[in-house]
Amino acid sequence: MRKMKLVMVGNGMAGCRALEELLKHAPDLYEITVFGAEPHGNYNRILLSPVLAGEMTLPEIMLNDLDWYRDHGITLHAGKRVVAIDRHRRLVRAEDGIEVGYDRLLLATGSNPFILPVPGKELPGVITYRDIADTEAMIEAARVHRHAVVIGGGLLGLEAANGLKLRGMEVTVVHLMDWLMERQLDRNAADMLKASLEERGLRFLLQKQTAELVRGESGRVCAVRFVDGETIPADLVVMAAGIRPNIDLARAAGLHCDRGIVVNDTMQTFDPRIYAVGECVQHRGVAYGLVAPLFEQARVCANHLAQFGIGRYAGSVISTKLKVTGIDLFSAGEFMGGEGTEEILLSDRQGGVYKKLVLKDDRLVGAVLYGDTVDGSWYFQLMRDTQNIGDLRDHLMFGQSFVSSHLGDAGHKGQTQAASMPDTAEVCGCNGVCKGDIVRAIQEKKLFTLDEVRTHTKASASCGSCTGLVETILAATAGGDYSTAPSRKPLCGCTQHTHDEVRAAITEQQLKTMPAVMQALEWKTSDGCNKCRPALNYYLLCAWPAEYADDAQSRYINERAHGNIQKDGSFSGVPRMFGGLCTPAELRAIADVAEKFRVPEMKVTGGQRIDLFGVKKEALPAMWKDLSEAGFVSGHAYGKALR
């Protein structure tokens, strides 16, 4: 029997969640082809901020690697953008000319970052913050530049600012509105957030309108000028001023579009063969930008693609539970209040806690929590259930555990917050996972660890703000069999030992080769991986400098080649200039090398060195040979080396 052909345009979180749900329901119904504009598998965009901050790596945020597509028989065209949809012939055409026919088409084209329409927006050094390429560009810029300006004081802008600050840049956040995150926080919570971030070294300019991005002598952006005439230096400008649904492809194909691609409750567009999910979609007049409603859309879409025909998407009640640079925030509903509402407030600025509950007709209709968000899920459930909270009113601010223990049936029964939650209570807003889903997975699949729960339910697998609650549910359900999340982090997946334990074993057990370490510590793999081999090589070299022979192939490529790899595959080299001092002869030597090897770009770095960009990998050994003859050594500005 011929399989129907399903083509998906877009390879992001919403679209791939729809495929995952479809494969659960009808794994053999379709021959699936996916086009993604980025040269990667599906990754967690929510975790780009920890990557920028240096807390995670790109492999750690992958949701579906390339093996996943192959294992499920999915044809992935990574790095290929679809440029046209022929609805009459039912096919899509990519920019390289590839054409693929479809019986069903799923559009998951996401959104585009909003670019301020100001002079200089096209200058080098002006970027957005939406994908891996943007993140890598910011990391590279932080290596060589000093001043960063982030335009936009929403969540994304603050995460970008924090990451760049941790990378060593001086960061100014420019925001048009009166206070930060005005869509998620009221003024009091925003003021506390701003004060906390200023203590960490961030600078803020509020109620500032950008007039121009100024070009420097090198052709790169060098400053930001405002409408009021003030100018501040900027080697890097990050646009984080919002997103717009990506509807160009759908509109060109004649589909009905407004702000987004208009869909009905079954996630179908004007053309019943074409479905759409994610940030590109407009449903009942609303376009959603948070991942939880997008995953709800994905489940409904998969239900209809599987030909079950019973799912309906009626819109989403939105809550935001976020971790902004390590500060817990929660907001939901009508948190700004208004006519007919009343507010209950708790403000402890010294303790870093602020809570605001908004009531209307004995119903909780909105909440803002800053610093202490443990009861966010409970408050959100009260809002969604429109529960009468008249009997709880005087105790509501003290949280679910207090209400349960003091009021019995007036609250939810149980001794703990987890036990008192109904099965329908949403625990993980990012992935739309309810308590009942987690409990069933724990009981049916005999799960005992947080990682196992994440793997089977995806709860706590995105932003991580619900991790504590998931662990509480796990402990309550698994009882004495519950295994807490390890406080000790293994060096990598090849071993259960930490960095400190490996280093101690090398010296205490007199281990002087990599095979000896792996054998003694019962490595799970025979040859290690790209995380543990560089670490072992370094630890062995430090422990036995006279006896261990450095394994150059276990060093990172940047160290091995003495160059930073660039996005186009070329490298940059940084000759050491101690204290920024050099002689005319040394300057001439650098110039001679640049001419000899046709270096296309040279920059003075923030570390008082000259960076040579665009060098081909095969030219690096000869280039360093010439530089060494002139007295230069490598600047070791390559990320994993000691300075």
pLDDT at residue 327 above 70?
A: yes
Q: What is the pLDDT of residue 215?
A: 96
Backbone phi, then psi, for 422, in 5-degree steps?
-70, 160
pLDDT at residue 631 above 60?
A: yes
Count of other CB atoms within 10 angstroms of residue 264: 13
What does the pLDDT average to over 286-293?
87
pTM: 0.68
pLDDT digits (tens, 9 = 90+) for 370-385: 988 888 878 888 887 7
Beta-carbon contacts of residue 587 (< 8 Å; ≥ 6 apart): none
For residue 608, CA distances in Å to 233, 574, 575 come to: 18, 10, 10
pLDDT at residue 341 above 90?
A: yes
CA atoms within 13 A on the CB side of 62: 13
**DSSP code for 132:** H
Report the alpha-carbon distance of residue 192 to residue 354 in Å, rounded: 8
CA geometry: angle 348, 351, 356, nearest 5 deg: 35
3-state secondary structure of 252: helix
Q: What is the pLDDT of residue 104?
A: 98
Report the alpha-carbon distance of residue 601 to residue 613 in Å, rounded: 5
Lowest mean pLDDT among 172-181, 277-286, 421-430, 529-538: 421-430
Report the alpha-carbon distance of residue 15 to residue 267 in Å, rounded: 12
Instruction: Annotate 217-237 with b (16+ C-beta within 10 A) or e (fewer).
Output: eeebbbbbbeeeeeebbbbbb
> What tokens were used for 59?
């492999």
Q: What is the pLDDT of residue 410?
A: 40
What does the pLDDT average to over 164-179?
95
What does the pLDDT average to over 523-548?
86
Q: Are 3 and 22 in contact (CB under 8 A)?
A: no
Strand partners, 281: 261
pLDDT at residue 554 above 80?
A: no
Q: What is the pLDDT of residue 451?
A: 76
pLDDT at residue 337 above 50?
A: yes
Q: What is the pLDDT of residue 408?
A: 53
Backbone phi, then psi, for 513, in 5-degree steps?
-140, 160
What does the pLDDT average to over 425-441?
82
**DSSP code for 290:** S
Lowest mean pLDDT among 207-221, 454-468, 556-570: 556-570
**DSSP code for 213:** E
Report the alpha-carbon distance of residue 584 to residue 378 in Å, rounded: 69
pLDDT digits (tens, 9 = 90+) for 90-113: 999 999 999 999 999 999 999 999
Q: Identity (one letter) of the amino acid at 277?
A: V
pLDDT at residue 526 above 80?
A: no
Highest averaged pLDDT of the listed ranges 422-426, 537-541, 569-573, 637-641: 537-541
Edge-to-edge strand list for the sheet holding 203-206: 126-128, 236-239, 147-151, 170-175, 203-206
* Mean pLDDT of the chain, nearest integer: 87
Instruction: Give which of 277, 343, 294, 319 is closest to 427, Cα–Cα.
Output: 319
Report the alpha-carbon distance of residue 154 to residue 183 in Å, rounded: 8
pLDDT at residue 480 above 60?
A: no
When pLDDT is cut at 50, 70 and 90, the band that residue 555 belongs to is low
pLDDT digits (tens, 9 = 90+) for 390-426: 888 888 998 887 777 666 544 343 334 566 677 877 7
Backbone phi, then psi, for 227, in 5-degree steps?
-60, -35
pLDDT at residue 528 above 70?
A: yes
pLDDT at residue 488 above 60?
A: no
Report the alpha-carbon distance of residue 165 to residue 144 in Å, rounded: 14
Beta-carbon contacts of residue 619 (< 8 Å; ≥ 6 apart): 597
